Amino acid sequence: MRKSICTLVLIVELLIGSGCATDMKNIEKLNYANAIGIDYKDGKYHAYIQLIDLQNVAKTSDGKKGPARVWIGEGVGYTFEEALFQPYETAQERIIWGHVTVLLISESALKEGIKRIYDSFSRYHEFRLTPWVYATRESVKDIFSVTGFFQRSPLSTILHEPKGIHSQTSYVTSIRLQQLIRQINEPGFTSIIPTLAVNKIQWSEKNKPEPKLMIDGAIFLKNDSFRSYIPLKELTGLRWIQPGMIRVGIPVPDHKDPSVQIVVDNPKASLKYINRGDRPQYDVKMKATGYVVSRTKDDLLNFRQLTGATKKAIEAEIRSLFRTGIAKKTDVLNLEYNLFRYHYGEWKAMSPAEDRLLTDDTIHDIHIDLNITHTSSEKNKSVQGIGRH
């Protein structure tokens, strides 16, 4: 009996051991996809896969890192899935999809409909729904090829880590795939996807241009339909309205001839619906704290003058954004979703409501509660003391 048990244990160990020997692979013999890009050209989808050398991400045994190395695979097909599967033919080793942190979609692909793309992510078990989603009007290959500073990998860029720079200067809030999927399935919701571009001017190394990524605007989707692209210079008002803004700078009284530069922390905005029968209107309310970071002129020294001029500048940006939205037939303030969510009866009665809301008189009043707390040069000094300088 004891001999039979020993024989059975030995057989089980041999089976387990042989299974491990054939099924397991060393991590260096696998390809880890870090980003997926999608473009649409000439009636076909172009899928791009970004692979990053992991030896550049972690220190080697001698504590040194080599230059950042990036591989970009490309497949072409009549569907996104067909295009994405094509690089399997030349991948050499198995591709692991669980490390994808970015989904980059071209403007032309978004015009074809994003549901055709995210449907694959929701079905295949290796894909997660947590990647950052970006749009671009430039070459996906160019975006994927940009590296970070100090020979760091692309994992140290806005593409993979948007939160760092967003905490210093907020313009367009980054969005994850799971958030976007939820939004485009909400009636009346207008989604905002930041767009990436390559800036070849601002940075250089040894007098040679050093391309770096930047957010140059945003693409707006209404459910699954493309609405518009708005460049960053026309989106300044969005930073006062969109949730998730952390730190916003504004020249006062205006960009062309500023007297002071104000930084505003954590602006919070809300919408209040006004029922005027066949003329729906909204009040915009915003609350935040701010402080002075620089001064170029000796005016606006009185607290009330400074606060009033800053409020006026913020209101001007919000109204300019809304006028841009009207011109591009885009509900940039998400007024229709607010109507659907909190005033369903009115929304249903005027549905489709977007055209009724995108008129010059829809924004009735903008109320800004701004508390300027200090002048930065002496942070323990009350801002009311500015008038005695």
Residues linked to residue 366 through DSSP beta bridges, in sequence order: 284
pLDDT at residue 296 in the model: 77
pLDDT at residue 62 in the model: 52
Find out whether 292 and 261 touch, Cβ atoms under 8 Å: yes
Residues linked to residue 248 through DSSP beta bridges, in sequence order: 264
pLDDT at residue 44 in the model: 95
What domains can be seen in the chain, in order of their start residue?
Answer: 29-234 (no CATH), 236-389 (3.30.300.210)
Residues linked to residue 29 through DSSP beta bridges, in sequence order: none
Q: In whole angstroms, what is the distance from residue 138 CA to residue 107 CA?
A: 9
Q: In whole angstroms, what is the distance from residue 152 CA to residue 67 CA?
A: 7
Q: Is 68 helix (H, G, I), strand (E, B) or coil?
A: coil
pLDDT at residue 52 in the model: 83
pLDDT at residue 50 in the model: 93
Q: At 346, which amino acid appears?
A: E
pLDDT at residue 359 in the model: 92
pLDDT at residue 29 in the model: 62
Residues with Cβ within 8 Å of residue 110, at least 6 apart in sequence: 135, 193, 219, 221, 226
**Pair of tokens at residue 80:** 């996104």
Residues linked to residue 253 through DSSP beta bridges, in sequence order: none
pLDDT at residue 140 in the model: 95
Residue 333 vs residues 24, 43, 236, 348: alpha-carbon distances, Å? 51, 33, 13, 19
Q: Is 145 helix (H, G, I), strand (E, B) or coil?
A: helix
pLDDT at residue 255 in the model: 77
Phi, psi angles (nearest 5°) of residue 124: -85, 130
Residues linked to residue 195 through DSSP beta bridges, in sequence order: 135, 217
Residues, the chain, total?
Answer: 389
pLDDT at residue 368 in the model: 94
Q: What is the pTM of this model?
A: 0.85
Residue 85 vs residues 22, 99, 178, 209, 279: alpha-carbon distances, Å? 25, 17, 23, 35, 52
Sign of the CA dihedral with 164 first, then 167, 169, and 175 last: positive
pLDDT at residue 382 in the model: 45
pLDDT digits (tens, 9 = 90+) for 205-263: 888 888 999 999 999 999 889 999 999 999 999 999 998 888 888 888 877 888 888 89
Residue 119 vs residues 40, 81, 84, 158, 226: alpha-carbon distances, Å? 17, 10, 13, 25, 17
DSSP 94: P
pLDDT at residue 115 in the model: 86
Flag residues of the chain having pLDDT under 70. 1-29, 54-68, 300-301, 375-389
pLDDT at residue 17 in the model: 52
pLDDT at residue 389 in the model: 37
pLDDT at residue 121 in the model: 78
Residues linked to residue 213 through DSSP beta bridges, in sequence order: 198
pLDDT at residue 386 in the model: 47
Residues with Cβ within 8 Å of residue 146, at least 6 apart in sequence: 154, 157, 159, 198, 211, 212, 213
